[in-house]
């Protein structure tokens, strides 16, 4: 769901041209003048390749690019993903006979109908992560935009009203680590795990009217004639069907066209040469996954 929404999100497409690191602020510079969707490969490998091809200063390391890729991929998505999941995806799953999900490790089952959208308020952290865009949208002339990743005082999560368990689709915008979704057994566990860059001030259920307003904004964007021509699948009903189809297929190679590491959607994935069970958008993600965990579980299939 994260990857599919990102592919169709036009707010943050561009090429990394450089970085500035100070004691209290880290800035990523991106050039989007070639139009928001010109970078067709929205996977991490595409992100790395574009940086190597267009960077005018010193190249960033792959690990550093991975942090920024996660931040800019997830920065705008938390409210949209939570609202769409509760209002659209849950009913579609129910229609297909799926009414619950099992959390990692199988220690708990969450009834999908019990998930509600909540907002978390937190204090700004001591170090800010900023994305500085040079951009031109839809040929309307040049512009400039600065995104303070931590400037938004709220973050949206899903909370199970029966158990208090939490599902967070886009916490990676703070941690710089693309591991989605995050699960916590309670708000207290989420706070103690340091899931947010600043001290948590309040956690409250989002009013129904705010959820409706968010969905209306997403629907209005999807109905824009220019966007509809470029990203036809962002209409919420169609997007819901695509997400549900991918969820039911699972991670098996060849099923969903999504990289196992960066969650980028691609039609040209590379399969692990030994186990044939996981696929990647390129060598950048393959190497990261191998070093972190896959080398411990990769086995040659029995003939």
Say if residue 241's pLDDT is above 60: yes
For the stretch 118-144, pLDDT in tens is 999 887 776 777 777 665 444 444 455
Mean pLDDT of the chain: 77
Q: What is the pLDDT of residue 111?
A: 92
- Taking the complete model, does pTM exceed 0.85, yes or no? no
Higher pLDDT, 277 or 249: 277
Say if residue 147's pLDDT is above 70: no
Higher pLDDT, 170 or 36: 170
What is the distance of C-alpha 38 from the center of its chain?
Answer: 19
Angle, helix 62-74 to helix 44-54, in steps of 10 degrees: 120
Other CB atoms within 10 Å distance of the CB of residue 190: 23
For the stretch 90-111, pLDDT in tens is 999 899 888 988 876 767 788 9
Q: What is the pLDDT of residue 193?
A: 84
* Cα 206 from Cα 80, distance rounded (Å): 13
Q: What is the pLDDT confidence band of residue 28, given thresholds at 50, 70 and 90?
A: confident
Angle, helix 236-249 to helix 208-222, in steps of 10 degrees: 100
For the stretch 210-235, pLDDT in tens is 999 988 887 776 666 655 555 555 67
């Amino acid at each position: 769901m994260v990857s599919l929404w990102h592919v169709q999100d036009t707010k943050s497409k561009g090429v990394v041209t450089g970085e500035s690191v100070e004691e209290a602020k880290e800035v990523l510079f991106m050039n989007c003048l070639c139009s928001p969707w010109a970078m067709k490969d929205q996977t991490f490998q595409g992100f790395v390749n574009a940086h190597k091809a267009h960077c005018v200063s010193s190249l960033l390391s792959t690990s550093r690019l991975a942090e920024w890729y996660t931040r800019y991929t997830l920065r705008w998505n938390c409210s949209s993903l939570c609202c769409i999941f509760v209002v659209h995806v849950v009913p579609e799953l129910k229609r297909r006979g799926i009414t619950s999900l099992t959390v990692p490790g199988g220690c708990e089952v969450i009834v999908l109908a019990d998930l509600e959208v909540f907002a978390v308020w937190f204090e700004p952290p001591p170090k800010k992560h900023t994305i500085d865009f040079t951009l031109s949208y839809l040929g309307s002339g040049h512009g400039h935009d600065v995104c303070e990743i931590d400037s938004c005082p709220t973050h949206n999560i899903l909370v199970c009203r029966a158990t208090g368990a939490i599902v967070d689709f886009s916490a990676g915008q703070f941690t710089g680590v693309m591991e989605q979704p995050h699960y916590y057994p309670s708000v207290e566990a989420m706070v103690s795990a340091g899931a947010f860059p600043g001290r948590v001030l309040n956690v409250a259920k989002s009013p129904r009217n705010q959820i409706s307003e968010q969905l209306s904004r997403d629907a209005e964007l999807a109905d824009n004639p220019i966007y509809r021509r470029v990203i036809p699948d962002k209409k919420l009903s169609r997007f819901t069907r695509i997400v549900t189809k991918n969820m039911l297929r699972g991670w098996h190679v060849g099923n969903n066209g999504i990289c196992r590491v960066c969650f980028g959607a691609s039609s040209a994935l590379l399969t692990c040469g030994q186990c044939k069970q996981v696929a990647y958008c390129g060598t950048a993600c393959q190497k990261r996954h191998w070093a972190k965990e896959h080398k411990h579980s990769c086995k040659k299939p029995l003939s």
